[in-house]
Amino acid sequence: MPAAHDDELAFAGVARLAQLVREREVAPRELVTLYLDRIARLDPVLNVFRTVLGERAMAEAAEVERRLAAGEVLPLAGVPIAVKDDTDVAGVSSMCGTGIDTGPASTDSAAVRRLRAAGAVIIGKTHLSEFGAYPVCESATWGVTRNPWDLYRTPGGSSGGSAAAVAAGMVPGATGSDSGGSVRIPAACCGLVGLKGQRGRVSTMESPERAYRFHGLNHIGPLARTVVDAALLHDAMTGAEPDDEIPSPPPAPPLMDVLRSAPRPLRIAMSFKPVVPVPISDEVRRPVLETAELLRSLGHEVIERDPIYPVVGIASVLALFMNGFAHEIEKLPKTELLERRMQAEARTSKLVPDWLARWAVAAEPRITARSQRRIADFDILMTPVLAIPPVRVGYFEGLGPTRAMLKMLRFIPFTFPQCYSGQPALSVPTGLAADGVPEAVHLVARANDEATLVSLAAQIEAVQPWAHRRPPTEALLSQVG
């Protein structure tokens, strides 16, 4: 195929590629070959993949071709997908950004198993910061993962490898995990849609040896170029497991069905109030204000109104994360291989007792109701994603735990409450800043209402499309060369 055609195919998106495969215009093995070639050319500079499963992916693609020939209906027919390296893929280690190899996973995680059932091909596993504890994608073991839009800036994190892979056209879609913003932050940094659905909508069950998942803070969600692609991936992963840590939410319609119609006129609360006291830069305010004007022109009511962020809620999230982190570390051999900062954080995390974590889980409904009292009559909350634009790589380099935590607050002042409350939320691209870095807004829905969230994002996308924008690939290739 000509190079120009290859590029168009690489950026065609999940839904379009699945359609092309079903219509026999392209074969799954052709897609795997295309993306393996792009990975080979781009990964030396971007450092996205911890492992590439080339031979396995080709075998999976051949199996998808057999299933299609047998008449199976596969929503993700033959589409290559990358998986964040904290989510289990059978036969492959989950290194979680560390240098500690606990051996290959015995089974696929629930989300990966469902992706395969829908016809996806798993092409590799992507980098993250150690245990996803920081909202960048850098580690002592695996080095720095770079943003395809600006090699000197972070792709965000902790799902930065997945985001960079999709943004650079190395895969059409990828999975991320989000315990405080780790899907939505890298989506914003890389110009993607990052969706965190309602807690429990996508099971977080891993293989039996890795079943503990941060007291329900952790969510698995898609990173993709368009709303329809994110919706398709989310639908494919949706489903509960018998031994899930948390109960399933009430049933909801498939997001692909929701996208067939525009949302009704909505009441939208716009807020620039951070959860923690950090300054909010003008660069991240501007896209929110511009999107508010766009939404008003579409018939929605947008009013500036702030949620309440009780101190006890902030403390509860911190307690749950620290206690969950301590339990994860307890499973590891050779903890001396962790970064020094992570070793210090592990020691501190052990001070949070299990009873306090249980209290924080039990108190969540009461704390969430209090925090949403002032915006209870709004359908959507709209905020910035981060307090600052994407930072340069090395932002946390050389910092101890306390100083690093203070700097990290600039990344998460709008995104971590929804991991505690479990509400659906997503990051929506809005364009490019003057320096060529992606801009975004953050949308949060009521509990169990992904439908309104996704339909509104699709309406914004229809009026203000962004998927045609691509990073400066030729410049990247010249650096690889």
* pLDDT single digits (tens) 193-211: 999 999 999 999 988 776 6
Rounded to whole angstroms, the Cα distance separating 164 from 170 reads 8
> Which pLDDT value is given to residue 334?
86
> Which pLDDT value is given to residue 211?
60
Please pick, among 158, 177, 316, 349, the residue that the annotation labels catalytic.
158
- pLDDT-derived band of residue 212, with 50, 70 and 90 as boundaries? low
Half-sphere exposure of 264 (CA within 13 A, CB side): 3
Rounded to whole angstroms, the Cα distance separating 159 from 129 reads 8
For residue 267, give the DSSP letter: E
Mean of pLDDT values over 139-151: 97
User: Is the confidence at residue 1, as pLDDT, over 50?
Assistant: no
> Which pLDDT value is given to residue 103?
94
CA angle 445, 442, 430 (to 5 degrees): 130
Please pick, among 84, 129, 139, 177, the residue that the annotation labels catalytic.
84
Q: Note if 182 is an active site residue.
A: yes
What tokens appear for 369 in the block? 């109701």
- pLDDT-derived band of residue 247, with 50, 70 and 90 as boundaries? confident
Rounded to whole angstroms, the Cα distance separating 273 from 383 reads 8
Mean of pLDDT values over 324-348: 90
pLDDT digits (tens, 9 = 90+) for 46-77: 999 999 999 999 999 999 999 999 999 999 99
Q: Quick one: how many helices (H) and strands (E) in the chain?
A: 17, 13
> Which pLDDT value is given to residue 475?
74
User: Is the confidence at residue 249, as pLDDT, over 70?
Assistant: yes
pLDDT digits (tens, 9 = 90+) for 383-439: 999 999 999 999 999 999 889 999 999 999 999 999 999 999 999 999 999 999 999
Task: Assess contact for 172 and 223: CB atoms under 8 A.
Answer: no
> Which pLDDT value is given to residue 452?
98
Rounded to whole angstroms, the Cα distance separating 414 from 385 reads 6
User: Is the confidence at residue 297, as pLDDT, over 60?
Assistant: yes
Rounded to whole angstroms, the Cα distance separating 426 from 441 reads 8
- Point out the least confidently predicted range of 67-76, 292-301, 331-340: 331-340
- Of 435, 440, 447, nearest to 464 (Cα)? 440
Half-sphere exposure of 466 (CA within 13 A, CB side): 29
Q: Note if 316 is an active site residue.
A: no
The rounded radius of gyration (Å) of the Cα atoms in the chain is 21
Please pick, among 162, 179, 182, 316, the residue that the annotation labels catalytic.
182
> Which pLDDT value is given to residue 46?
97
- Mean pLDDT over the full length of the chain: 95
- pLDDT-derived band of residue 5, with 50, 70 and 90 as boundaries? confident
